[in-house]
Amino acid sequence: MFLALAGGVGGAKLARGLVRVLPPEELLVVVNTGDDFEHLGLHISPDLDTVMYTIAECHNPETGWGQAGETWQFMDALGKLGGETWFQLGDRDLATHVERTRRLGTGEPLSCITADFCERLGIDHAIVPASDQPVRTWVDTDVGKLSFQDYFVREKAKPKVVKVTFDCIDDARPHQKFLDAIESHALQGIIVCPSNPFLSVMPILSVPGVRAALEKRRAPFVAVSPIVGGKALKGPAADILRSFDIPVSPAGVAEVYGDLLDGLVIDSVDADLAPSIQDMGPSVHVADTVMKSLEDSVSLALTARSFAESVVPRNSYSSAQ
Amino acid sequence: MFLALAGGVGGAKLARGLVRVLPPEELLVVVNTGDDFEHLGLHISPDLDTVMYTIAECHNPETGWGQAGETWQFMDALGKLGGETWFQLGDRDLATHVERTRRLGTGEPLSCITADFCERLGIDHAIVPASDQPVRTWVDTDVGKLSFQDYFVREKAKPKVVKVTFDCIDDARPHQKFLDAIESHALQGIIVCPSNPFLSVMPILSVPGVRAALEKRRAPFVAVSPIVGGKALKGPAADILRSFDIPVSPAGVAEVYGDLLDGLVIDSVDADLAPSIQDMGPSVHVADTVMKSLEDSVSLALTARSFAESVVPRNSYSSAQ
């Protein structure tokens, strides 16, 4: 089986391909919850929703969030009542937030609600939040400390990020399926989707217990670079690498994942970087990584799966076996 | 000045006329909150919303609730997620519930939120809930005790009502503007809109302190009969009168209001009942009371105002002055 770690749009696109090339019992998709927040009294899990909607094929490809055929009547009426309109919530999308908030209020864990929503949307594969306990990403920036959505949506990711922290993470536990998958003898590969390493993947890896489990992994940890040709395909990953003085390239991505990384899929346009990345330790596979269609997602999923199957973990634990 | 007591659709229609014939400083609209409930984790105040939307001319005349031009994307998506769909919430209407729930959660009173919403919707007149404390109507029926919305919406008002009670009402206080208006020397009339006497008006009159204040009123208490030609214009008022063995006629309405009633506006089709109602005590005015248009509402508002100005309170306090 395979484990996929995903953030928002980029992660969702690869996950969309993975569910087409792996049967339900051979894939677990673990999703970032660091972007989750409370807004208008509603619990919102942007990455979970993007992954869920995309896999269910009811996503909105124009926005990257919300559902296909979204309308904006709620937002329009909310604006007229003086409500906050900086975070756009479509009329269909809103049903997810309202119903999830209601169910969370009864004490039901986020993962159970997610599983039920997925089933109702026709998804056969398992999608779990990295943790059922709240993890909240905050960024220290040149204009002060901001919650993730204040930085990302309200401030349009313009402030310069100097530090990323995950509030409440000390009290979080990895979802049991996530931990079980890492520790499973059947695990063939951990595939890190092309999501923002700092904002989408690090919150997953930082849940207490995940690193320790990964250090003992038997399966390789391979990532698909979200940086292509010196740019992030989406979002502020490039700006953040730059502000941390890390190369805005797949080599920079390899640097961020460090010793964890056993293999990296880089885009064809970055093929010349392969030798220098391999010198850093991980294996490298060159492929077309930009996903513009379902076919692209399926193709990259096949590539990532094959690559993961071929890579040997670098960690001492597995090499000691 | 005048005080108008209103429930949902019928009350809203007359209130819509009253705001056209009385300047803002000469009218206070007090609205029933007995129908309020929590649904999907949201606080919903159906009567307040109907009155507010109707006065703001953004009401939905087809449904009697929700806003003009409603769409149902939220409900459709909610159904797909397995959420409860027996209570229809339009996409625009939902903004009111979400934003009000959020603000109530910060401790803001219902009346302050209502006042702000009204201002933003362009309403110059004051609309207040009968109480800022929760009052919840329950009905004992032949199929058991039901909360108001379970009875009214989920069960389509089909169960036979044997008793109406108002939960939490002992802890409720009348809104101060409501109490001040009743006690004001400037008050010229209390106009009870053609709303359900048991389900819309009684919750208002039953808030502790209201009856005592009304007993000392200087202004007449006049009602517009919601029963016309032996039928309720809308809702279950006729069925409830019948199950309480009260005549389904304006005379029955007079019986329900009892000694409080100084005057009753009845419809032309019920003109022959005027003498027998007058024998019961209240003055009677005959008019066309069915409001199908804004013009009808304005006309009935003028009628109710003039009638209230002409009626003398029957209570001992005022006659002792």
Task: With cut-offs at 50, 70 and 90, classify the pLDDT of residue A209.
Answer: very high
Residue B200 lies in a domain: yes
Residues of B with CB under 8 A from a CB of A: 40-42, 67, 69-71, 73-78, 80-83, 90-96, 98-99, 101-102, 105, 116-117, 120-121
Instruction: Give backbone dihedrals phi and psi of B54, rounded to 5 degrees, phi first.
Output: -70, -45
Q: Measured between CA atoms, how close is A282 to chain B, in angstroms? A: 42
Question: Is pLDDT at A67 greater than 50 in this prediction?
Answer: yes
SS3 for B247-291, per residue?
CCCHHHHHHHHHHHCCEEEEEHHHHHHHHHHHHHCCEEEEECCCC
Kindly tell me the burial class for residue A149, based on how many C-beta atoms sit within 10 Å of its own C-beta (0-12, 13-18, 19 or more).
Answer: buried
Question: Which value does ipTM take for this structure?
Answer: 0.92
Averaged pLDDT in 10-residue chunks for chain B of 321 residues = 96 98 98 97 97 96 89 97 96 98 97 98 98 96 94 92 95 98 97 96 98 95 97 90 95 96 98 97 97 97 98 68 42
Nearest neighbour of A99 by CB, restricted to B70, B73, B78: B78
A93:B76 CB<8 A: no
Residue A309 lies in a domain: yes
Residue B55 lies in a domain: no
Instruction: Supply the DSSP symbol for A264.
Output: E
B98:A105 CB<8 A: no
A117:B81 CB<8 A: yes
Buried b (16+ CB within 10 A) or exposed e, B80-115: bbebebebebbbbbbbbbbbbbbbbeeeebbbebbb
Residue A107 lies in a domain: no
Residue A42 lies in a domain: no
Strands (E), A7-153: 27-31, 37-39, 42-44, 126-129, 136-141, 144-147
Task: With cut-offs at 50, 70 and 90, classify the pLDDT of residue A63.
Answer: confident
Q: Measured between CA atoms, how close is B24 to chain A, in angstroms? A: 21
Collect all residues of chain B within an 8 Å Cβ-Cβ radius of residue A82: 99, 116-117, 120
pLDDT attached to residue B317: 53
pLDDT attached to residue B316: 55
Residue B204 lies in a domain: yes
Collect all residues of chain B within an 8 Å Cβ-Cβ radius of residue A69: 73
B74:A81 CB<8 A: no
Neighbours of B297 (CB within 10 A): 22
pLDDT per residue over A259-293, tens digit each?
999 999 999 999 999 999 999 999 999 999 999 99
- Portion of chain A with pLDDT greater than 70, in percent: 98
Strands (E), A18-79: 27-31, 37-39, 42-44
Nearest CA in chain B to A97: B78
Domain holding B301, by residue range, is 2-41+126-319
Q: Measured between CA atoms, how close is A31 to chain B, in angstroms? A: 19
pLDDT attached to residue A235: 87
B120:A77 CB<8 A: no
pLDDT per residue over A185-195, tens digit each?
999 999 999 99
Per-residue pLDDT averaged across A62-73, rounded? 91
CA pair distance B264, B257, nearest whole angstrom:
10
Kindly tell me the burial class for residue A88, based on how many C-beta atoms sit within 10 Å of its own C-beta (0-12, 13-18, 19 or more).
Answer: middle
pLDDT per residue over A119-149, tens digit each?
999 999 999 999 999 999 999 999 999 999 9
A-B contacts (CB, under 8 Å): 110
Q: Which CATH number covers residue B294?
A: 3.40.50.10680
Collect all residues of chain A within an 8 Å Cβ-Cβ radius of residue B120: 80-82
Nearest neighbour of A92 by CB, restricted to B69, B77, B96: B77
Residue B62 lies in a domain: no
SS3 for B52-97, per residue?
HHHHCCCECCCCCCCECCCCCHHHHHHHHCCCCCCCCCCHHHHHHH
B71:A76 CB<8 A: no
Residue B218 lies in a domain: yes
Residue that wins the pLDDT comparison between A65 and B92: B92
Q: Residue B190: which of B18, B308, B307 has the closest Cα?
A: B308
pLDDT attached to residue B319: 46
Q: Residue A91 corresponds to which tokens in the numbers above? A: 């009329």
Collect all residues of chain A within an 8 Å Cβ-Cβ radius of residue B96: 77, 81
pLDDT attached to residue A61: 86
Task: With cut-offs at 50, 70 and 90, classify the pLDDT of residue A56.
Answer: very high
What distances in angstroms separate CA A223 from CA A49, A83, A251, A262, one per listed residue? 22, 41, 12, 8
B92:A102 CB<8 A: no
Own/partner pairs, B255-260, CB within 8 angstroms, 24+ separation: B255/B280, B256/B197, B256/B198, B257/B192, B257/B197, B257/B201, B257/B221, B257/B223, B259/B314, B259/B315, B260/B205, B260/B214, B260/B221
CA pair distance B252, B196, nearest whole angstrom:
12
HSE value, Cβ hemisphere, 13 Å, CA-based, for A229: 8
Q: Identity (one letter) of the amino acid at B22?
A: L
A71:B73 CB<8 A: yes
The overall average pLDDT reported for chain A is 95
CA pair distance A206, A199, nearest whole angstrom:
11
CA pair distance B274, B197, nearest whole angstrom:
19
Q: How many domains does chain B have?
A: 1
pLDDT attached to residue B321: 42
A95:B78 CB<8 A: yes
Question: Is pLDDT at A317 greater than 80 in this prediction?
Answer: no
Q: Residue B196: which of B146, B161, B147 has the closest Cα?
A: B161
What distances in angstroms separate CA A159 from CA A9, A145, A238, A244, one per listed residue? 21, 10, 13, 13
Per-residue pLDDT averaged across A212-234, rounded? 95
Kindly tell me the burial class for residue B212, based on how many C-beta atoms sit within 10 Å of its own C-beta (0-12, 13-18, 19 or more).
Answer: exposed
Collect all residues of chain B within an 8 Å Cβ-Cβ radius of residue A94: 74, 77, 91, 94, 98
**A96, containing H or E segment:** helix A91-105
